[in-house]
Homo-oligomer: A and B are copies of this chain.
Amino acid sequence: MAKAIAVIAGVGAGTGASIARKFAQKYSVAVLARSSTSYQSLVHEISSSGGNAIGINTDVTSIASVKNAFAEISNAFPGAPVAAAIYNVGGGFVRKPFLELSQEDFTAGYESNAKGAFHFSQAALPLLLKSENLEHPPTLIFTGATASLRGSALCSSFATGKFALRALSQSLAREFGPQGIHVCHAIIDGVIDIERTKGFQFDVPDAKLSPNSIADTYWFLHTQPRTTFTQELDLRPYSEKW
């Protein structure tokens, strides 16, 4: 039987790459990002250490681009079932006084978080539904944020997008859970330890989220049997105020 596939949308220097590495230990992985610079070295790294990986330039806000990405995945791994689909797209984070937001600023949060997740889910779910003989239930995971639960001042673009994404994840869990699909929503609350946040200062050590540990949690979620699904969890450093 063909090795199963994990599809990860939103892969850059941080969480997405860690998720891809983790899932590549067991599955072929397809990583989607707007530009190949985001995934090239990752795909090379996985491939050269014995894994299977492809990267596909994808604009998640375009339904055609997402459809095309999934067609490429099917071509690259013919006959392989899709075991996991992970929507880890950020973007749309605009912090500005509300009256200074352009329409484009405001809708950016929705476009990348919710509308992109809609495209991704519509492409991934039919494949997850027809996957058979997998070791773990087919899994669809969405990455949320503090803003999934709280609309802060100056952050309406991001918060509207993340609230909407959470609504989508619940709606899909209630429709597709009974069909055996595990739909999860992870609320990432804190600064992630990546290149871009290297300079952030904290009073204590280990105050940033580890991308590899986020990936371990996503993998664990994937391994839960259908008797015992988690729909939502939070992840934050021990030192984070919340």
Which positions in A face B, CB cutoff 8 Å? Answer: 63, 97-99, 101, 103, 106-107, 110, 114-115, 118-119, 121-122, 125-126, 137, 147, 150-156, 159-172, 174-178, 180-182, 193, 204, 206-210, 213-214, 216-217, 220, 224-240, 242
If A99-B122, A235-B228 touch, whether A156 touches B168 (CB-CB below 8 Å) is yes
Could you tell me if A231 and B236 are in contact, using CB atoms closer than 8 angstroms? yes
Tell me whether B230 and A235 are in contact (CB under 8 A).
yes
The quantity of this chain's copies bound in the complex is: 4
B168 with A160: CB separation less than 8 A: yes
Q: Is the CB of A171 within 8 A of B193?
A: no
B151-A110 in contact (CB<8A) = no
Q: Which of B121, B122, B160, B181 makes the CB contact (< 8 A) with A164?
A: B160
- The distance in angstroms between the C-alpha atoms of A122 and B99, with both chains bound, is 6
B164–A63 CB distance below 8 A = no
List B contacts of A239 (CB < 8 A). Answer: 177-178
Q: How many Å lie between the Cα of A162 and that of B172 in the bound state?
A: 16
Q: Are A228 and B242 within 8 A (Cβ)?
A: no
Partner of A167, one of B156, B237, B242: B156
Whole-angstrom distance between the Cβ of A151 and the nearest chain B Cβ: 3
B contact residues around A242 at 8 Å (CB): 174, 231
- On whether A122 and B151 interact (CB within 8 A), knowing A227-B210, A230-B233, A238-B178, the answer reads no
Q: How far is the CA of A210 from the CA of B229 in the complex (A)?
A: 10
